Structure 1
Amino acid sequence: MNFKKLSGFAVSASMTLSLLSLPSLPANAATSDAAASGAAMSKQELKAQKKADRQARRAKKNAELSTLEKNGYSPSANQTNYPQNLQNAQQKAAGQKPTNAPAVAP
């Protein structure tokens, strides 16, 4: 009887592992497609594209931080009410009235 339970467990475990590996297959295929298209670009072009992407991401991040700072958030200030301070600034930036509810500890 223990053998039947053990074999049933082994079968279910192997099926679970095989199902868990399925979602990663399309991601690997997409990565190889990107590598194939990247091979068509020269090394310098690829480097320039990555640099432009980094600069765009940095500019977006800095713009978001600047907007939050204009609406009252200061990352260098005392962070005792951290999540609530950030959420209030986000609500102000979105044009909503901030809620002054205290932050809830997890």
Structure 2
Amino acid sequence: LQALRKEKSRDAARSRRGKENFEFYELAKLLPLPAAITSQLDKASIIRLTISYLKMRDFANQGDPPWNLRMEGPPPNTSVKVGVFEKNMVLFLDVRTQTIT
């Protein structure tokens, strides 16, 4: 009976770790980094880089002047704006990744 409980507990822990790992790597895939980098990150690095990304995104929105400030005239090409922001984030996170590893 005790061995059965141990096995059940071990299986539950293994399942939980599998689900956690899946979510961590899904989160890593959302970072604006090449897959070659995100596939090599450990959990702590994924969390650190995600926090850095969110802080930079918040800074970009709240900077003085805001990076996403709309100018007069035709609506801006948002894909270009996002591209510039993501390009800068990739550079920032790449430097950050190099200091972590």
TM interval, shorter chain, is: 0.3 to 0.5
Higher relative contact order (CA 8 A, sep 6+): 2
Q: Return the TM-score normalized by structure 2.
A: 0.41
Q: Return the TM-score normalized by structure 1.
A: 0.39
